[in-house]
Structures are given as structure tokens and as C-alpha cells.
Structure 1
Amino acid sequence: MKWPSSLSAFVTLATNDNYARGAMVLGTSLRNHKTSKKLVALIGPQVSESVLKGIFHEVRLVDVLDSGDTAHLAMMKRPDLGVTFTKLHCWTLTQYSKCVFMDADTMVLSNIDELFGREELSAAPDPGWPDCFNSGLFVFRPSMETHDKLLQYCTEHGSFDGGDQGVLNGFFGDWATADISKHLPFIYNLSSIAIYTYLPAFKQYGGNAKVVHFLGKTKPWCYTYDPKAKQITENVQEAATHSTFLLDWWNLYSSAVVPMLQEQFGEQPFHSGCVEGESHPTQASALESQLSSEERKQNWEQGQADYMGKDSFDNIRKKLDTFLK
């Protein structure tokens, strides 16, 4: 089926079933906020496309790419990010004239169709290093020429962080300085990390947020949720970092996605579940507590602070209060 080249679309990626659940929440949130654009999901071979087809206009199977850059991924303590290279397939969607890519761990809070008025490569700054853009949401123009150049760039230069964000920031290397109109407001990619690190700004501007991004290793589907009480029942302190957004994610998942899963597969309601083999969040926190001061300092410098443990907002505030007294 040949579609008009004037079509535009929101695009996401799911390489496993948990990210597929995230993609379903994202797609549902876009539909709930009355987007007029097509919805496209790129999926890996391990993901079932049947339920996604109930939400997305197009579901395309793609080969899973992996950077294999264990050194840089280890530096970030995120070996799972290697497969994010698969995101580069989005430039092959040449039946569309313009697209907005969104990670499967994002959720829309209001209509964002106005983003299609922006040009490639428009994105919001990354909270860890604002001269880099965060690749969880960006505007792009599908092009096989650009796709081929990106793959060539990967071959010749690799990625400074081992994932797609390092590649894209290298390839679109003038983003920070060339054209301020390509700098999206932070409300289009609001991260929980930013809520924690600059709480006064969140209190001032957070009400205007249009997209929330659940950055970090612990994703919404890693928590435990009670659908009757509509509450997070495990890792409650950690969940508080996401403000009300985490509950919004679970409420949407329970009300819209679970019924679809049950209808398709007869699946029992999914109320928690980290990827098998990953450390449980509480175990991760326990490991963090054993780190030396120097190791904790290095983690801070790499954006890997123990936000839910010793480096929590409440603990930092207590230390500051003690110092000021």
C-alpha cells in the first residue's frame, strides 16, 4: 500500500514485551489527546504485534541492532542501551514526510501535534548535559540517505555513550549552537531526574508539561501496583520521584491496555515485573549503600546518583539544614 508522502507520524520502538507495554501506554495517551497523526511502532522479533495493531496504524518488524560498545555502556551502568541503536531504523519510514520519534518510556499529557511544525533535528536538552539533546523525543525527516549516513557514522565514529543518543548527538553535532528554533522546550521531554535535581523549577513549570519521560533503569512497569486502591505498593519512596506521573501511567495501563491484553491473549492483569535477570530496584539500592565516598562521587559525575538512597532529596536537604545551622 503506497501512502501519500505528505503523511506524518509519531514513531516508537519496542525490542521486548515490557517496552511493548510502554509503547501501548504511549500510543493510548496520544490517541486520548486526539492526535491527528499516524502512529507507528517499530518492533523486534521477540515482540508480538497483534495487540500493538489495536493501537498503532502501522507495526513494522525490524532487525535489532546493538552497538556492542560494552565499555561505554558499562560506564553508564546501562548494558541494556546497546539495542537502542535499533532506533536508527526510523529514518527508513520514507512513506512519511515528517515524524516525531518517542521512546516507549514516555507518556503524553496533552496534544503535541504542534511539534510537526518543527524541523529535523528538533529535540529538548538532556538534563545531564544540556548541550546535548535527549534522544527520547525528536523531530526528524525519514530519508534513506540520512539512514545510510548514520550507519556510516556509527562505523567510523561509534557512539560516545554506547547508545543511540551518543550517535545522534555526534551526527547532528551542531544542535547546541546552529539553530535555537530546534531546541524544544523542556516540557516536551520532562524527566524524573530533572524533577529531583531542580524541584523549585518543577513546582513553577511542571504544570505545563506535555510529555513525561521515565528516564533511568527503573521503568514504570518495574513497580508493583494495586489496581483497586490505584496505588503503587512497592518502592513507594522511589515512586514519589515521578510525582503523580507514575500513577497516571499505571491508571492508563490498567484501564486501557490490560483489557486489550486479556481480550487478545486471556492474559492475567500485569501489575509489576522487571525484565528477568535485572536487579530488583530494592537490591540495586542496597548495593548503592555499600559504595565508598569516591565511588559515589564518580556516580554523581556520571549522572548515576543514588536518588532513592543516600543521595535522596530529603537526605540532601537534611544535610544542608544541618550545615546552615
Structure 2
Amino acid sequence: MSFFSRYKDYAPLRSDASTTKSNSRKYTLLLTVALIAASGILNVVLYSKLSKRWPVPLDNYQHLNVQPIVNEEFLSTIGPLDPSENAIVTSLYTDSYATAIATLGHSLNRVNSSAGRILFYLPEKVSPRALCIATSSGFVPHAIERIPPPHGGRGVYAHFLDQYSKLQLWTLADRGIKGVVYLDADTLVMSNFDELFALPYGFAAVPDVYVDEQGFALAFNAGVLFVRPSRAVFDDMLAKIATASYNAHEAEQSFLNHYFGAEALRLPYVYNANLAIKMRKPELWEDVRREARIMHYTLVKPFLAEMDNSGKTVVEMRGMEANVQNKMSQYGGKFEDELKDWVEIWRETRRTYADAFTQCSSKSASLPS
């Protein structure tokens, strides 16, 4: 009896231990479920807060500031520029941009810019006919040596392979040039911008704009630049383009953003009215376009035949208006007004420099051998 009594006394002890372990497992499971639930709730709260945060000001743009971009009193103090010390520069690396540069030159004439004009070109890549057309409206040809992309061009978009040659802008110090406004060939001047030459800074550009999630970027677009030429800066940049760490896709634009990223003066959008602004925020575009100094035909290039803007085909002058008409439907016709602006100035260009264009037609369209 004492044995069984002892057994019975012991048996409940084993039952309590088992219950304790079972309860412990339950508590652990409940704690795990609670932590998972709390984590889920926290994630939902954080997502809700992030999704409801205020958009960046330009994505929330409103027509608030109606004042002019540049102080009128300051503008009145700017006299004619010395063309031997101040220059507007563009570049020609392929024949397909020649008519665009002729049109750009005429747009400068229309706004009475007093700066000198210089056309950078690569002699081995431009035909005599294209050079003649490009210089017909006032640009003075200046042959430059191509600056090859670092690392054999690995990672650089094909249409940007010659763009490092833009760094030759800084060598204009050798010619006594103190101030340069560089304009890509796919730009069009809408209003005088001589005030840029009064800037005390060494480098200025307009922030870039993307239609995707990058939106209104801090990085700048290299299609319009203000530069204080310097041989020392040129030599320094040339020594670093192959060793600096940057995205190679956008070539010289990416490099310049890293080289001048902290020092660059960011200019208002009116100095580089990028068509991407209209895609991103039409309300902002309305105000930018009204005061635009320089229009930049980034997404649609009226003078190129291809819809992808590859520039492999040269559009003849007689077919230019039809070519622009073909481009009207791109992006659902969103840029019809801007394309009309370009073709109107092209018509003026063709009429104004008809004699010069006739002389150009007698020149060779073949590249130098």
C-alpha cells in the first residue's frame, strides 16, 4: 500500500510539470503571434504615414509667384557684352544636327544676343556641307579634338560617346574667353539671356527633370551650362574622368554632376525649359514656358527623322516641315505647341539664309577621308 501510495503521491507531480510545459509553449506561441501582429500593424501605420506625406513642392506646384524671374532694374544695368570675352557655344558631332544649329543661331539673332558665337565640331565626323549649314546663321566654326570616353566607352549610351568633348569648353580660356553659355544643338532660344554672363560663379546649370520616379532631381542637366573657362580646371577634369566613380551611362553629364555637384549654381528652369517638365507637371510648364529663355527639345527632336532620336538619317531641308509634322503625334500630341514653335523659327531660318543654304548645297556631303 505504501508503494502505491507513494506512486499516487508522485503521479500528480508529473501531471503538473506536463501542464507547465504545455502552458509555456502556449505562452511562447501567443507571444510570437502578438509580435507578428504588432509588426504588421506597425508596418501598416508606417506605410500609411509615408503614403500620405506631402509631395515635393514642384510635384505640388501651384501658380503662386507672379513676379518676373530676373529683376528688371538689374537687367537695365547690363550693357552690350564684349564678344571677345563672352561666347555662346554649341557643338556639332554629326551631320543630322546641322539644320538644328542653323535654327538655333537664327533664334539667337532674333533676341539680339550680343555675345560671340562659337561652334565646336569634330572635323572627322562632320561633312563640309553640314558645317556650312550649321554656320550659316552666325556660329563661327572651331574644330576641336575629340575627348574619348574613359574605359573605351564601356557603359556609355551610344549617342553620348562623343559628349566628353564638351569639356573642351574650359580650354576657351586660351582664347581669352571669360564667360561661356553652352547650348546643346537641340535647344531653341526664346528670349535674351545675357544676364547669365554677369554671374560671379564658375559653373551654373539647371536641375534635371525625369518623367519616372526620379522626378525633379537635384542633379543638373548638361544641355545648358554657364562656364568660366580655365585651363587648370580642364587639365584637372581630364585627369579624373577615368578614376572618378560615377554612372557611365550619361557620360559627361554624370561626370560634371560629380565634379561640380557641391559647387554648381542651380539656375531657374526657364534657362533650360526641358520638355520633360511638361510631362511631369503641366501646371509648372505653363509658367516656365511663359518666361522661357531657352527651350530644350529633349523628348522630341523635331529635326531628326527617327522616333527614337538616334539621328542616323539626315533630314533634307525640303523635307523638314513634313518631318516635324510626323513628330506631332509623339506622346499623344502633348508637344504639338512646342513643335510649332520650332518649325516657325525653322521657316524663318530657311527664308533668311536661303542664299547661304544654296551655296552649302554645292559642298560635299561626304565625311572627310
Question: Which is further off, 104-113 or 232-241?
Answer: 232-241
Deviation per CA, 1:109-134, whole angstroms, max 9, x where unpaired? 01111111222211110113521111
Q: CA deviation at 1:5?
A: 9.5
Task: Give the structure 2 partner of residue 262 of structure 1.
Answer: 357
- C-alpha contact (below 8 Å) 2:273/2:288 kept by paired residues: no
How many angstroms apart in 1 are the aligned matches of 2:358 and 2:240? Answer: 44
Q: Name which of structure 1's ranges 238-247 and 98-107 shifts more when overlaid on structure 2.
A: 238-247
Q: What is the match of residue 60 of structure 1?
A: 142
Cα distance in 1 for residues equivalent to 2:96 and 2:198 = 32
1:131 — aligned with what? 218
Q: TM-score, normalised by structure 1?
A: 0.70
Q: TM-score, normalised by structure 2?
A: 0.62
CA distance in 1, matches of 2:139, 2:288: 33
Distance 1:30 1:243, change over 3 A: same
- In 2, Cα distance between equivalents of 1:93 and 1:62: 11
CA drift of 1:31 comes to: 1.2
1:229, distance to aligned residue in structure 2 (A): 8.2
1:1-325 to 2 correspondences below 5 Å: 7-45=85-123, 46-47=125-126, 48=128, 49-67=131-149, 72-73=155-156, 78-94=157-173, 95-118=176-199, 119-128=201-210, 130-157=217-244, 159-162=246-249, 163-175=251-263, 182-216=265-299, 218-223=300-305, 232-238=324-330, 240-257=333-350, 259=354, 262-266=357-361
SS across alignment from 1:138: strand
Q: Is the 8 A contact 2:303 2:324 kept in 1?
A: no
Amino acid in structure 2 at the alignment position of 1:242: F
Report the residue type matching 2:254 in the other structure.
G
Separation of aligned partners in 1, 2:193 and 2:336: 21
- Contact 2:148/2:164 (8 A) holds in 1: yes
In structure 1, C-alpha distance between the alignment counterparts of 2:318 and 2:111, rounded to whole Å: 25
Cα deviation for residue 233 of structure 1 reads: 3.0
Report how far residue 261 of structure 1 moved. 5.7
* Closer/same/farther in 2, CA of residues 15 and 205 from structure 1, 3 Å limit: closer
Change (3 A) 1:236 1:55: closer
1:53-92: CA deviation from partner (whole Å, max 9, x where unpaired)? 433353111122332665533xxxx421121111111111
Aligned to 1:297: none
Q: Deviations over 1:182-240 (max 9, x none)?
A: 21101110111111111122124421211111114x52212589989889432432173
Q: Report the residue type matching 2:325 in the other structure.
A: T
What whole-Å deviation, never above 9, does each CA across 1:237-294 have from its counterpart, x for those lacking one? 2173334222222222233147256322337xxxxxxxxxxxxxxxxxxxxxxxxxxx
Percent identity, aligned pairs only, is: 24
* Alignment-mate amino acid for residue 197 of structure 2: F
Please tell me the root mean square deviation across aligned C-alpha atoms, in Å: 2.9
Going from structure 1 to structure 2, the CA distance change for 1:89 and 1:260 (only over 3 Å counts) comes to: farther
**What amino acid maps onto 1:233 in structure 2?**
Q
Residue 104 of structure 1: how far off its partner (Å)? 0.7
Q: Distance in 1 between matches of 2:330 and 2:119?
A: 30
Distance 2:336 2:196 in 1: 25
Consecutive unaligned residues in structure 1, runs of 5 or more: 177-181, 268-325
SS at match of 2:162: helix
Residues in 1 aligned to 2:248 and 2:320: alpha-carbon distance in whole angstroms: 41
Task: Look up the equivalent residue of 1:215 and give its one-letter code.
Answer: T
